Amino acid sequence: MSALARLAAAALADAKPTVFWQDPQVAGHTVPEPEPELRGHITTDLAVVGGGYSGLWTALLAKERDPDRDVVLLEARTVGWAASGRNGGFCESSLTHGHANGVERWPDEIAELERLGHENLDRIAEAVARYGIDCEFERTGAIIAATEEWQLPGLREDAQRMRDLGYDVVDLDAAQMRAEVNSPTYLGGIYDRDGVAMLHPAKLAWGLREACLRLGVRIFEHTPVRAIRSEPGRLRLESRHGSVRARQVAWGTGAFPGPLRRIRHFVAPVYDYALMTEPLTTEQREAIGWASRAGMSDASNQFHYYRLTADNRILWGGYDVIYHYGGKVRPEFHQRPETFQRLAEHFFTTFPQLEDVRFTHKWGGVIDTCSRFCAFFGTAYGGRLAYAAGFTGLGVGATRFGAEVMLDRLAGVETERTRTAMVRSKPIPFPPEPLRYLGIELTRRSIAAADRNGGYRQPLVARPGRGRNGIRQLIRPPRPRPAAAGRRAGITAVAAVPAPAG
């Protein structure tokens, strides 16, 4: 075992296999008592399925739009238990999983999508203040660091395009980058100063839950929806010990599609992993700088995301993204020792001056990925049910936009949101097994090879693009080769192979 491997193993030795954000033993964490399970049969105007950000924002906005509307929210476990309470806490303005991905897919409306995204982030900040949600919200912006020379041209291009739209994105050379955050691996970077806020993800979910309850939303936890039945003028949602008859339904269950079969071909559940350090000492903070407290990621195809918490811990996650054959989602997948060891080694490579830091928590979570890397929307049951899914790790902010879209669709009104091609279109569906598993594994190997070969990998899909964010996704749109090479890599998604019709 190498010295680096021994250092990483020692730092992980006492880490709890628990989500830091949801750990009741952490100072400042008051985990709410769950609402009761649904028992019996009730009726409502709007039933919201899913107690993550999608469902919570939908329920809250529905009551804001119409305070007299009766709203019921059903959650299979507890509010914020899944991705909404496990993520890195990067609340981004981007609705398209990065500006470059949006430009490549919807070039004619990218300016509108960026505007809608920044307005959405503003509305989140306003809601946090209005409802007194103590989620450690800091609009710090985010930095992407180049750790290889081939990454710099693409970052500069991203930054210039954002500046052309009027946004505050600056280039950082090596010295400026290390002045922001001190790592010997940094060669430069870009800093989006306003488009990202950092927050405590579980506290946001719990705060939205409390706001919903105050507005009169009825919440039932430990109430999985097992079936959807169509009745005259209503949809009936069946759970273990009861049912809800609703005039309309909003479906926001992320990687857990349940009985809504029509979205299954579009979503692949993949696992992402993270570590949390102990709080840094004053000396350790001084050794790395990071005065801006901006969210961080590196510009590799297999990238890391990291940030400071309110009590000056470092969350460090990303790199590995794991898909299990058949799209299996199981509690035992939340722990993966080989990934935690790899992440810890990468942490100490990035910050060798923190060799005495230890990790206190290690965990994983499942993400609803789709082939276009950002959310898609639709309706079912004659327009009585609306859904949003496929946020691909960028849901902390974009779920609020998705909630607005679902409510627009249920209201039958056309808005500037629903007129966009992004909302009106669908991603390419994933193929069935075994092609899905084989395709994802080939893609992972292609990504790893790209990082070894100057960013270039053979395109399986002729759709170039790059991501611009610090949140996990299944396949980060690849970084280009250096500009002199004269070509760009294409996104290599398993979704290149369409699923059979029917």
Mean pLDDT of the chain: 91
CA neighbor of 283 nearest in space, from 312, 316, 310:
312
> Which pLDDT score is estimated for 443?
86
Residue 416 tokens, joined: 């500037």
Contact of 403 with 57, CB cutoff 8 Å? yes
In angstroms, the CA 455 to CA 158 distance is 16
Q: Find the range with the poorest average confidence among 120-129, 292-301, 440-449.
A: 440-449
Residues in the chain: 502
The average pLDDT across 328-348 equals 98
In angstroms, the CA 281 to CA 239 distance is 49
In angstroms, the CA 375 to CA 403 distance is 11
CA neighbor of 247 nearest in space, from 258, 257, 232, 259:
232
In angstroms, the CA 100 to CA 466 distance is 5
* Count of CB atoms situated within 10 Å of the CB of 326: 10
Please, which residues have CB within 8 angstroms of residue 461's CB and are 6 or more apart in sequence? 490, 491, 492, 493, 495, 496
Query: pLDDT for 243-293, tens place per residue?
Result: 999 999 999 999 999 999 999 999 999 999 999 999 999 999 999 999 999
Residue 7: pLDDT above 50? Answer: yes
Contact of 363 with 19, CB cutoff 8 Å? yes
* Count of CB atoms situated within 10 Å of the CB of 330: 9
Query: pLDDT for 134-152, tens place per residue?
Result: 999 999 999 999 999 999 9
Provide the H-helix boundaries in 85-222.
99-105, 110-130, 152-164, 174-180, 201-214
Strands 242-251 and 322-323 turn out to be unpaired
In Å, what is the CA distance from 324 to each residue of 44, 67, 382, 435, 471? 37, 43, 34, 13, 20
Contact of 438 with 73, CB cutoff 8 Å? no
Please, which residues have CB within 8 angstroms of residue 145's CB and are 6 or more apart in sequence? 177, 181, 183, 185, 186, 187, 188, 189, 296, 297, 298, 299
One-letter amino acid at 269 equals P
Question: What's the pLDDT band for 457 if we cut at 50, 70, 90?
Answer: low
In angstroms, the CA 144 to CA 300 distance is 10
Contact of 26 with 313, CB cutoff 8 Å? no
The single-letter DSSP state of residue 144 is E
The DSSP result for 229-262, as a single string, is: EEETTEEEEE-SSEEEEEEEEEE--TT--TT-GG
In angstroms, the CA 83 to CA 85 distance is 5
Please, which residues have CB within 8 angstroms of residue 426's CB and are 6 or more apart in sequence? 266, 376, 378
Q: Find the range with the poorest average confidence among 24-38, 83-97, 103-117, 480-494.
A: 480-494
Q: Find the range with the poorest average confidence among 97-101, 130-134, 143-147.
A: 97-101
Residue 461 tokens, joined: 């899909």
Query: pLDDT for 381-391, tens place per residue?
Result: 999 999 999 99
Question: What's the pLDDT band for 454 if we cut at 50, 70, 90?
Answer: confident
> Which pLDDT score is estimated for 444?
85
Residue 346: pLDDT above 90? Answer: yes
The average pLDDT across 200-208 equals 99
The secondary element (H helix, E strand) that includes residue 270 is strand 268-277
The single-letter DSSP state of residue 464 is B
Residue 116 tokens, joined: 């809608």
> Which pLDDT score is estimated for 153?
96
Strand partners, 314: 308
The average pLDDT across 358-375 equals 98
Query: pLDDT for 352-363, tens place per residue?
Result: 999 999 999 999
Tokens 């009590």, residue located:
311
